[in-house]
């Protein structure tokens, strides 16, 4: 999903993102996978670079390869305007998706609830059913 950059500070791409990537020294701040590397994850989720793999051609060692791309995640406060260093981490796709999973589940549940209400299904209240 494309990011709505209008929700971020004007200096996001020019100052904030480069500063966090520099702090991370080109690696995911959680799993330490190197930015831009091509390789595979093992059964424990650890990344292993594979120099035999050719990205985009499907050639190489025969394993399904991935390319690590670091993104900047808001770890405590999801507000895109909260760009304090302590709220930002450089994360690979896997670590960023794991971080955001609870928020995405909550948003999906709220979307489903709103659609049911809009379709005319009455909302259930637990208090109404208590003795």
Percent of the chain with pLDDT over 70: 85
Residues 6+ apart with CB under 8 A from 32: 47
Taking only the tens place, the pLDDT of each residue in 23-41 is 999 999 999 999 999 888 8
Residue range 109-118: mean pLDDT, rounded: 88
Q: What is the pTM of this model?
A: 0.74
Confidence band (pLDDT; 50, 70, 90) for 90?
very high
Instruction: Give the pLDDT of residue 125.
Output: 67
> Which tops the pLDDT comparison, 103 or 73?
73
Q: Which two tokens stand for residue 124?
A: 């259930």
- Give me the pLDDT at residue 42, please: 84
The answer to whether residues 53 and 60 touch, using CB atoms and an 8 Å cutoff, is yes
HSE-up of residue 91 (Cα within 13 Å, Cβ side)? 16
Domain boundaries, the chain: 5-35+70-119
Structure tokens at 71: 């993104």
pLDDT band, residue 74 (cuts 50/70/90): very high
């Amino acid at each position: 999903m494309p990011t709505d950059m209008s929700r971020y500070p004007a200096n996001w791409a020019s100052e904030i993102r480069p500063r966090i990537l520099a702090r991370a020294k080109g690696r995911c701040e959680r799993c330490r996978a190197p930015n831009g590397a091509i390789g595979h994850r093992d059964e424990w989720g650890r990344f292993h670079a594979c120099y035999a793999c050719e990205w985009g051609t499907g050639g190489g060692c025969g394993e399904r390869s991935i390319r690590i791309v670091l993104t900047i995640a808001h770890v405590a406060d999801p507000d895109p305007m909260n760009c304090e260093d302590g709220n930002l981490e450089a994360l690979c796709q896997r670590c960023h998706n794991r971080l955001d999973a609870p928020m995405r589940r909550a948003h999906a549940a709220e979307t489903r609830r709103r659609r049911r209400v809009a379709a005319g299904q009455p909302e259930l209240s637990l208090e109404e059913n208590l003795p």
